[in-house]
Amino acid sequence: MEIFTSWPSWAHAEGPLAAALPERTVDALRDAVAFARRRHGVQQRPTGRPYLEHLLEALEVAVRGAGLSDRDVLVSIVLHDVLEDTPCTEAEVARRFGPEVGALVRWVTKPPGGAKADYLASLVKAPPKAVLVKLADRVSNVQELQRMPWRFQRRYYLETVAYVMPLAGAHPWFAQWFGDWRGRWRRVERWPA
Diameter over CA atoms, the chain: 50
User: What angle is formed at CA 36 by the lines to CA 52 and CA 1, rounded to 5 degrees?
Assistant: 40
Q: Which of 85, 92, 144, 159 is catalytic?
A: 85
Q: How far is the C-alpha of 11 from the C-alpha of 33, rounded, in Å?
A: 11
Residue 27: name the closest of 75, 61, 80 by CA: 75
Which ranges of the chain does DSSP label H, i.e. alpha helix? 10-20, 23-40, 51-60, 71-79, 82-85, 90-97, 99-107, 116-122, 128-142, 150-159, 165-168, 172-185
Which letter does DSSP use for residue 63 in this model? I
> In DSSP terms, which residues pair with 50 in a beta bridge?
44
DSSP 8-class letter at 20: H
Is 118 catalytic? The answer is no
Is 31 labeled as catalytic in the residue annotation?
no
Q: Please identify which of the residues 31, 53, 70, 84 carries the catalytic annotation.
A: 84
Of 118, 28, 119, 113, the C-alpha closest to 76 is 28
| Residues assigned a catalytic role | 84-85
